Amino acid sequence: MENKLIYLYSLYELVRADMDKIKIPYTKNVPIKINPRAKRMHGCCRKVNGNFVIEISDFLLNYSKKEIMNTIAHELIHTCYGCFNHGKRFKYYCDKINQLGYNVTTTYKGKEVTQIQNEAKYLVMCENCNTKMYRMKKSKLITNSQLYRCSKCKGKLRVYKIIKK
């Protein structure tokens, strides 16, 4: 695990150097950790006691150097002022770093997404725009869907239990 962390930090430093070149105002000295339990995400940026912490999924370390660096850049952009979501400012910085050859997007549609769809127990669908969201667990969204709205169009959400054959 220590070798993986050394490798991760070496890529982290390369991404930081690129972001410094084009003056993206990310938060400096954000600790980066490997999350061995994460199965459905490549990385995440969290606030812990008012400070940012970046977690990278252990399975991502089996991917190419480029994909790992894209994920690190994505999470570092979240540390910029006004970028903790995927709004306009976040997308502006993505476009900026992508000019250096990165491919940073707001979401990732890879093989894990198909796996999630195959393993999901619930489908949440917008009645207005038909946006689909798959869920593995019976969360608040599943039990109280009337309290939530579609993030794209603000439409009502309907929950379906997926029955496996």
pLDDT at 17 over 90: yes
Structure tokens at 50: 């008012």
**CA distance linking residue 59 with residue 9, whole number of Å:** 16
What's the whole-number mean pLDDT along residues 100-107? 90
pLDDT at 110 (0 to 100)? 54
pLDDT at 2 (0 to 100)? 80
3-state SS class at 125: strand
pLDDT at 55 over 90: yes
What CA–CA distances, in Å, run from 117 to 41, 114, 133, 141? 14, 5, 9, 17
Q: pTM for the full model?
A: 0.71
pLDDT at 19 (0 to 100)? 97
**CA distance linking residue 9 with residue 99, whole number of Å:** 23
Q: Which long-range contacts (CB under 8 A, 24 or more apart) does 112-117 make?
A: 112/39, 112/40, 116/40
pLDDT at 130 over 70: yes
pLDDT at 106 (0 to 100)? 85
Q: Is the dihedral of CA 14, 15, 21, 27 positive or negative?
A: negative
Spatial CB neighbours of 120, under 8 Å, sequence gap ≥ 6: 134, 135, 136, 162
Mean residue pLDDT across the chain: 89
What's the whole-number mean pLDDT along residues 26-45? 90
Q: Is the dihedral of CA 6, 94, 19, 82 positive or negative?
A: negative
What's the whole-number mean pLDDT along residues 132-158? 90
**CA distance linking residue 30 with residue 114, whole number of Å:** 31
pLDDT at 67 over 80: yes
**CA distance linking residue 5 with residue 66, whole number of Å:** 16
What's the whole-number mean pLDDT along residues 149-153? 89
